[in-house]
Amino acid sequence: MAGQTGVERWVDEVARITRPDRIHWCDGSEGEYHKLIEGMVGDGTLIRLNQKSYPGCYLHRSNPSDVARTEHLTFICTSRKEDAGPTNNWMAPKEARERVGKLFEGSMKGRTMYVIPYIMGPAGSPYSKLGVEITDSPYVVANMRLMTRMGKVALDRLSGSNGFVPGLHSLGDLSPDRRFILHFPEERLIWSIGSGYGGNALLGKKCYALRIASWMGREGGWLAEHNMIIGLEDPTGQVTYIAGAFPSACGKTNLAMLVSPLQHLGYKVWTVGDDIAWLHVGPDGRLRAINPEAGFFGVAPGTSSKTNPNMMAAAGRNTIFTNVGVTPGGEPWWEGKDPTPPDGLIDWKGNRWAPGAEKAAHPNSRFTVPAGQCPSISPHWEDDDGVPISAILFGGRRARVAPLVYQSYSWQHGVFVGAGMASETTAAATGAVGVTRRDPMAMLPFCGYNMADYFGHWVAMGSRMKHPPAIFHVNWFRKDADGNFLWPGFGENVRVLMWILDRVRGRGKAVETPIGFVPAADGLEMDGLKLPAGTMQELLSIDRDAWSKELEDQGKFFEQFGDRLPNEMRQEHAKLAQRLSRVRVPLSPAETSKGS
């Protein structure tokens, strides 16, 4: 058709294949959102929660077979298998189009097809990017409205431009046998069918902002990372920004919204983002971060007014809850919200909940919340130029190996620390929970290309920056021999952030160890926190046997990349082995007086 834009042409083409009854172009307005919500309440897709205590809040119960990301059904479809690398599932683009194209034929019959133009990032930022998602799920539309800047604001930027990432999504028949999440990074295209779950269906999030964007970032000299972003305010009012990569459900959101027990000393955390950061080298030679998202898709279980009061406040209104339980009074409920489950609780599947039976809320139940509602949201979270990053954290759940915190020797060593990351698995993806898996930079499920090239890109980014951030590794999850956590975590983590801040400023008492700098025994601010004798030593100690095994595991993981693994990673691995062989370990800061 004459005068048609690229989006219109694509929408027509998709409609011809999927054959929806109706096509609706989303404008992103309040009125449109309410109409959608009412429609879903009408057909049972949503349940209205208590509007007095939870205004604007709804509950969605998903198909019980569709509650988490399905990594084994997620594919990177590059023309050459090597470009996807050994850690991604790969399907040839031709095969993918044939196999999965068939599933889209007539998949929207009897349904409305929604066209969602959206922006990832602040509307005026030079670092933001456009996407268009086509979906037949009104639940996806409502969630996309909370998670992105969508509708007219995006359409205005789109007009006359072909520079958008198309993402086609259909619920299909929701069968895991016909579920595929496909990425065609060379064409910048996403196809997802058979799932309505957040990470599989809200295509702006993991599919675009991480898998496709990581590919775009390598080509364009920037990074798309699975990172939270915070600002740590010091007593002078100066704010230092920190990005942090943690695997799914490892407390990234809680850290992003930390309430400091040391506010009386003048330290406070501001939230910029809780899941994804796009990092560019700014004109000032510093790494600048934007949060491409506009909302939080947080894990409910374990969230409480003790663990994350900011999230509890944010999720008290205008929130979509997915797969949580519900009280007889119509309030959402999940394990960990309060100590005792209320009487008459209905579980996430809609059945009467009985103590001792299944959990009331699914372990990966979620809430979708507009970011602006968070009391700790940074006044700079939507700055067009992003915020300057001074430190990057890598962390995971490690019961034994990693000390509470350590600092890398250099950018290159820091990249190796990130590449060597591992964590015990959680419920955010289907599969066994609690198994240690290597998860470089928390990007294993999200890197859209060969991770060996990704490590190389990280190394190269170091030389693009005049002031590269310092790189740290943290571990809130270290346990003693009886399996008890050694560190209280949550708000107390601010003590670790304060040490990091000091280190970034060239201060902060540290001890040089084979793995990096760890805090000196008296390096952390302990005002108001009393740990049992010896606990700090244990938290900061380095166990030779555990590290020998760690080295071996890292080596095995790296081996799968063959020649493609950058030499810098091999060198750092060898250097670590050498440093470890030279010293007497276990080593705890108390045993050494060598400061730095």
How large is the C-alpha radius of gyration of the chain? 24
Cβ burial 516-552 (10 Å sphere, 16+ → b, else e): bbbbbbebbbeeeeebeeeebebbbbbbeebbeebbe
Nearer Cβ to ligand OXD (69/286): 69
8 A C-beta contact, residue 13 and residue 171: no
In the complex, what is the shortest distance from the CB of residue 250 to ligand OXD, in angstroms, rounded to a whole number?
A: 9
Neighbour tally for 556: CB within 10 Å: 10
Q: Which does 273 bind (CB under 5 to 8 A by kind): ligand OXD, Mn ion, none?
A: none
User: Among ligand OXD, Mn ion, none, what does residue 428 contact (CB within 5–8 Å per kind)?
Assistant: ligand OXD
Q: Cβ closer to ligand OXD: 428 or 520?
A: 428
CB-wise, 252 or 286, nearer to ligand OXD? 252
Q: What is the pairing mode between strands 227-233 and 223-225?
A: unpaired
Residue 453 interacts with which of Mn ion, ligand OXD, none, CB < 5 to 8 Å by class: none
Q: Which of 26, 57, 207, 250 is catalytic?
A: 250
Please, are residues 576 and 514 in contact by the beta-carbon 8 Å criterion?
yes
Beta strands 277-281 and 287-290 are antiparallel
- Shortest Å distance, C-beta 205 to ligand OXD: 7
C-beta of residue 590 within 8 angstroms of C-beta of residue 521: yes
Q: How far is the CB of 251 from ligand OXD (least distance, A)?
A: 12
The one segment of 64-72, 274-282, 397-405, 583-591 that binds Mn ion by CB under 5 A:
274-282
The Cα–Cα gap between 319 and 331 comes to 12
Q: Which residue's beta carbon is nearest to the bound Mn ion?
A: 275
Residues that bind ligand OXD (CB under 6 A): 69, 198-199, 248, 275, 297, 428
The residue among 275 and 331 lying less far from Mn ion, judged by its C-beta, is: 275
CA distance 253 to 299: 8
93 contacts 81 by C-beta, under 8 angstroms: no
**Closer Cβ to Mn ion, 129 or 206, answer by number:** 206
The site partner of 288 among ligand OXD, Mn ion, none (C-beta below 5 to 8 Å per kind) is none
Pattern 373-412, Mn ion, x by CB under 5 A: ----------------------------------------
Helix axes 213-220, 451-464, angle to 10 degrees: 40
Q: Is 340 exposed, middle or buried (0-12, 13-18, 19+ CB in 10 A)?
A: exposed
Shortest gap between Cβ of 226 and Mn ion (angstroms)? 6
Q: Tokens for 311, please give them.
A: 């999230």
The rounded distance, in Å, linking the Cα atoms of 308 and 428 is 19
3-class secondary-structure state, position 351: coil
Q: Minimum CB separation from ligand OXD for residue 273, in Å?
A: 11
280 binds, among Mn ion, ligand OXD, none (CB under 5 to 8 A by kind): none
How far from the centroid of its chain's Cα atoms is residue 378's Cα? Answer: 18
| Phi, psi for 166 (deg, rounded to 5) | -80, 140
Least gap, CB of 347 to Mn ion (angstroms)? 25
Choosing among ligand OXD, Mn ion, none, which partner's interface includes residue 425 (Cβ < 5 to 8 Å by kind)?
none
The answer to whether residues 140 and 133 touch, using CB atoms and an 8 Å cutoff, is yes
- Could you tell me the smallest distance in angstroms from the CB atom of residue 8 to ligand OXD? 32
Q: Which two tokens stand for residue 561?
A: 């990349």
Q: What are the E-state strand segments in 338-433?
A: 366-370, 387-395, 405-407, 422-424
Backbone angles phi, psi at 470, to 5 degrees: -75, 150
User: Annotated catalytic, 207?
Assistant: no
Q: Reduced to 3 states, what is the DSSP secondary structure of residue 42?
A: helix
Q: For residue 345, report the phi and psi dihedrals to the nearest 5 degrees.
A: -65, 140
Question: Least Å distance between CB 555 and Mn ion?
Answer: 28
In the complex with Mn ion, the residue whose CB is nearer, 32 or 275, is 275
Of the residues 275, 335, 347, 572, which one makes contact with Mn ion according to CB under 5 A = 275
Q: Which of residues 243-272 bind Mn ion (CB under 5 A)?
A: 248
Q: Is the dihedral of CA 566, 567, 570, 573 positive or negative?
A: negative
Is residue 225 a contact point for Mn ion (CB under 5 A)? no
Beta bridge partners, 150, equal 118
Q: Which does 297 bind (CB under 5 to 8 A by kind): ligand OXD, Mn ion, none?
A: ligand OXD
Residue nearest to ligand OXD (CB): 248
Locate 267 and state its tokens. 């330290």
Residue 69, binding choice from ligand OXD, Mn ion, none, Cβ under 5 to 8 Å by partner class: ligand OXD
At 426 the three-state DSSP class reads: coil
CB 373 within 8 A of CB 317: yes
Pick the closer one to ligand OXD by CB: 251 or 514.
Answer: 251
Tell me the closest approach of the beta carbon of residue 175 to ligand OXD, in angstroms. Answer: 22
Name which of 186, 219, 224 is nearest 443 in CA terms: 224
* Cβ at position 248, least distance to ligand OXD in Å: 3
CB closer to ligand OXD out of 402 and 429:
429
Q: Nearer Cβ to ligand OXD, position 262 or 311?
A: 311
Strands 332-333 and 227-233: unpaired
How far apart, in whole angstroms, are the C-alpha atoms of residue 231 and residue 380?
9
**Closer residue to ligand OXD (CB): 147 or 165:** 147
List residues binding Mn ion (CB under 5 A).
248, 275
Residues catalogued as catalytic: 250
